[in-house]
Amino acid sequence: MTSTTTFWRRIVAVLIVALAAAQAQAEEGPAMVAQQVSASAWYVEGVSALGSPANQNFISNAAFVVTPAGVVVIDALGSPALAERLVAEIRKVTPKPITHVIVTHYHADHIYGLQTFKALGARIIAHGEAREYLNSETARLRLEASRQELAPWVNADTHLVEADEWIEGDKDLTIGGVQFKLKQVGPSHTPEDMVIYLPSEKVLFAGDLVFRSRIPYVGKADSRHWIAALDALLRFDAKIIVPGHGPLSREAQKDMKLTRDYLAYLRTTMEKAAKNLDPFEEAYAATDWSEFEHLPLFRVANRMNAYNTYLLLEEEVK
Ligand SMILES: [Zn+2]
């Protein structure tokens, strides 16, 4: 009898602790912990999900590099509150001022935190190709929708932030004696894609251009340019990739090749179908996917990727 009572007391105690933890998580959002990438670089990793009030839109990664002159942040996360949490993580590593934010591309989950860094006096740097989107009705409507879907994390105070410096082409920046190579790689995932390479530590901040050991979402991307961009990135001697989503990779070359080979395979197979005027369903069923079908997200993404590529190639071969 006594031992049974003790047993149930323990169960209840465990449940209370678990409930309290769950509630704390709901209020605070997913955990954010800066992980060290190399001697002077860190990153925080968003959750693998769609943006929601529960995750505060923490669905993408951000990184920072500590230089002797100050901190360079790469991407600003998906809400001002997340950006504040990132600032708190940076403060655990260094008291140095945050002097720059470099934006890989202007998708909502990478930029809604920009205003936090701007208020701290950071200089925002992005590729000039983003200006068209930033001033478009699409961007305005997207923010409007996010204010509804992601409230209170994205709200009436959240606004789109222009860069202080719009880059054209490539640019080498030296900040506090540390070299950053900014490389234009759009139009690929977006028109304004830019990657940042830190040659001193062989770290590549790849935005949404490289996916680690998984199938990318191709969407309306320009896969021909994307492949060319990956070929250009493979010429960097990168050892580590910090992607825009998901865990970092210490198999930089392998992951870049996988993304490139997958995109190339989609194009080769769908080009043949588009040229022969084969219906998509038939072409898809006749394609040998065995090289890629074991990869995460194959089931959810491959068919749509193939279909989008088929449509793209139909236009290209006309
Ligand atoms: Zn993204």
67 C-alpha to ligand 1 centroid (Å):
26
278 C-alpha to ligand 1 centroid (Å):
33
pLDDT at 58: 96
Instruction: Report the pLDDT averaged over residues 255-278.
Output: 94
275 C-alpha to ligand 1 centroid (Å):
32
Q: What phi, psi does 167 have (nearest 5°)?
A: -85, 140
60 C-alpha to ligand 1 centroid (Å):
6
110 C-alpha to ligand 1 centroid (Å):
6
pLDDT 10s digits, 153-176: 999 999 999 999 999 999 999 999
Write down the mean pLDDT value for the chain: 92
42 C-alpha to ligand 1 centroid (Å):
18
111 C-alpha to ligand 1 centroid (Å):
10
Provide the pLDDT confidence category of residue 29 given band limits of 50, 70 and 90. confident
217 C-alpha to ligand 1 centroid (Å):
10
75 C-alpha to ligand 1 centroid (Å):
10
pLDDT 10s digits, 47-93: 988 889 999 999 999 999 999 999 999 999 999 999 999 999 999 99
69 C-alpha to ligand 1 centroid (Å):
29
Instruction: Report the pLDDT averaged over residues 91-103.
Output: 98
63 C-alpha to ligand 1 centroid (Å):
13
pLDDT at 316: 87
279 C-alpha to ligand 1 centroid (Å):
32
152 C-alpha to ligand 1 centroid (Å):
21
97 C-alpha to ligand 1 centroid (Å):
26
b/e sequence 118-131, b meaning 16+ C-beta within 10 Å: bebebbbbbbbbbb
235 C-alpha to ligand 1 centroid (Å):
23
pTM: 0.85
pLDDT at 107: 92
208 C-alpha to ligand 1 centroid (Å):
5
19 pLDDT higher than 70 = no
209 C-alpha to ligand 1 centroid (Å):
9
255 C-alpha to ligand 1 centroid (Å):
17
Q: Regarding predicted confidence, which is higher, 175 or 3? A: 175
50 C-alpha to ligand 1 centroid (Å):
11
